[in-house]
Amino acid sequence: MPNNSLVLQVESHVGANSAWLGGEGDTIDGMLPKVVAEPKSAEALTGLLEWASQEELTVSVRGGGTKLDWGGVLGAVDLVVSTAGLSSVVAHRHGDLTATVEAGATLASVNEALGARRQWLPFDPPWAARATIGGIVATNDSGPSRYRYGAPRDVIIGVTVVRADGKMAKAGGIVVKNVAGYDLSRLMTGAFGSLGVVVDVTFKLTPVAPASGTALIELGSVDAMAPIVADLVSSDLTPSAIELQWPPARLLVKFESVESAVESQADAVARLVAARDASCRVTVHRDYQESTLWEDHAGRWNQPGTLVKVSTATNAIVPTLIWLREACRDRNVAMSAQGRAALSVVDIRLDGAIDTQAQLIQELRERFEVGAGSAVIRRAVAALRQSVDPWGPIGDGLRVMQAIKQRFDPDGRLNRGRGPV
């Protein structure tokens, strides 16, 4: 098919000026797509994917482009679908604390809209200004507030997807409690677009708390971290985030509530830490100071290098970090860590020779039995994701996952190679 006629064909499904030949800015993992399409409606997307199915084209999806270097290395791509044209807040049912938003809407724009009613979608993953709902759902990415409010898979209540064969299907609904049928919303969450292209998502929302404050705990060393996190978790405090940073070894404990509860709980953190370890320093940050603290924390994800998500049992995360520090030091790899201390889901940043990193990640994985921990490469250069499986051992559920992928996308055309199956 001549290239220009390809664009015309695509435009017949998505409308004029909504498709272009793949150019330099459209490459994913170094691969140049033949054509890029930007459908403006679910119907246009349906028509496009039905056509792509008939033409047996491989398809990849792009939102804000913040995570194109996540997941497996893309195997092939003829058509890139941009969700930029599907970016509206379809409904904000503030009385019901739910909202339906299109996949291409950025998290920041959604939360700006919901903020008018003092509600929010309680996600705070990195790059909120550019990261889209579709991408956040596809990667089940989350931020510090996951501790209290959950990950995307915990607040998703409905989804509309277009399948590889171009058929549109929905699951769940707009009500917060619903057990009718299989939970395809959760299945799509974290699937890296391997089972369908998400059109819109319905979420349960959270009211914006009237006050917030953060206790910053500066630890003498990382070894002091585990007992303090254990104390925080077993206390009756209700923080919305317990984040670690290292180095320097610090904990950020955020409270969101009425003013009196924020103040009293932040003070309680200071007492709890003092009782455990007098060498730690606790300061309470409010207002501008507090937002600066969290902006700096989010900035840690912007530092260059590989990001590996390490997940362990609660009492295993600090020993894992200490092991990693030694291992990195021996091999001349720079390392830092940040993430959910109390959930034991931490992002490790590595910077060093590719093969050394690959070896480190393999050794790290060998420390975990399947189910008791994992080390998943999130962001990395293609060379690293090529030399070591980004997901690591999945366990004996893999065969079922492969069977699901086969049923939804028998020809393996959707985000080939990108997802876990």
Partner 1 sequence: MRSTFIASCAQVVGAEHVVQDATEMAVYESDGLAKLRSTPGLVVLPGTAAEVQQVVRLCHEGGVPFVARGQGTGLSGGAMPHPDGVLIVMTRLNHILDIDIPNRRITVEPGVMNIEVTKAVSSQGCYYAPDPSSQVICSIGGNVAENSGGAHCLKYGFTVHHVLGLEAVLPNGEMIQVGGSALDPPGLDLLGVLVGSEGTLAVVTKVTLRLLGKPAAVKTLLAAFDSTEEAGNAVSGIIGAGIIPAAVEMMDRTTIEAAEAAVHPNFPPAEAVLIVELDGAEAEVSALFDHVETVCRDVGAREIQVAKTDAQRARFWMGRKAAFAAMGRVSPSYYVQDGVIPRTKLPEVLGRIRALETESGLKIGNVFHAGDGNLHPLVCYDDRIEGQAALAESVASQILTFCLDVGGSITGEHGVGADKADQMPKMFTETDLDSMQLVRCAFDPQHLCNPGKVFPTPRLCGEVPGPYRAHPIERAGLAERF
Residues 180-209 that bind partner 1 (CB under 8 A): 180-187, 189-191, 194-195, 206-209
176 part of the interface to partner 1, by CB under 8 A: yes
Nearer to partner 1, 38 or 347 (CB): 347
Residues 6+ apart with CB under 8 A from 78: 33, 34, 35, 52, 57, 58, 59
Name the minimum Å distance from CB 379 to partner 1. 15
Exactly one of 40, 170, 286, 300 binds partner 1 (CB under 8 A); that residue is: 170
Subset of residues 393 to 412 that bind partner 1, contact rule: CB under 8 A? 393-408, 410-412
> Which region among 5-13, 122-130, 274-282, 305-313 touches partner 1 (by CB under 8 A)?
305-313
Nearer to partner 1, 21 or 233 (CB): 233
**Structure tokens given for 294:** 């969290």
Nearer to partner 1, 281 or 309 (CB): 309
Give yes or no for a contact between 105 and 87, defined as CB atoms under 8 angstroms apart. yes
Exactly one of 3, 12, 221, 238 binds partner 1 (CB under 8 A); that residue is: 238
Number of residues that bind partner 1 (CB under 8 A): 108
Name the minimum Å distance from CB 345 to partner 1. 5
Exactly one of 39, 134, 143, 373 binds partner 1 (CB under 8 A); that residue is: 373
Exactly one of 33, 63, 72, 143 binds partner 1 (CB under 8 A); that residue is: 72
Exactly one of 21, 230, 270, 382 binds partner 1 (CB under 8 A); that residue is: 230
Residues 6+ apart with CB under 8 A from 328: 334, 335, 350, 352, 360
Interaction pattern, residues 313-342, with partner 1; x per rule: CB under 8 A: xxx---------------------------
Report angle CA 29, 83, 92 to the nearest 5 degrees.
Answer: 140
Name the minimum Å distance from CB 5 to partner 1. 28
DSSP state of 413: -
- Judged by DSSP in three states, 105 sits in coil
Give yes or no for a contact between 74 and 31, defined as CB atoms under 8 angstroms apart. yes
Q: How far apart are CA 18 and CA 343, in angstroms?
A: 43
Nearer to partner 1, 3 or 235 (CB): 235
352 part of the interface to partner 1, by CB under 8 A: no
Subset of residues 38 to 57 that bind partner 1, contact rule: CB under 8 A? none
**Structure tokens given for 53:** 């199915």
421 part of the interface to partner 1, by CB under 8 A: yes
Give yes or no for a contact between 311 and 272, defined as CB atoms under 8 angstroms apart. no
420 part of the interface to partner 1, by CB under 8 A: yes
Name the minimum Å distance from CB 41 to partner 1. 17
**Main-chain dihedrals φ then ψ at residue 217, nearest 5 degrees:** -110, 115
> Which region among 37-45, 80-88, 103-111, 170-178 touches partner 1 (by CB under 8 A)?
170-178
Task: For residue 243, give the nearest of 342, 142, 349 by alpha carbon.
Answer: 342
Name the minimum Å distance from CB 141 to partner 1. 11
DSSP state of 223: G
Helix axes 259-276, 225-234, angle to 10 degrees: 140
For residue 244, list its beta bridge partners: 251, 339
**Main-chain dihedrals φ then ψ at residue 358, nearest 5 degrees:** -60, -45
**Structure tokens given for 59:** 């398809």
Give yes or no for a contact between 98 and 205, defined as CB atoms under 8 angstroms apart. yes
Subset of residues 104 to 163 that bind partner 1, contact rule: CB under 8 A? 118-119, 140, 150-151, 153-154, 161, 163
Exactly one of 287, 353, 371, 383 binds partner 1 (CB under 8 A); that residue is: 371
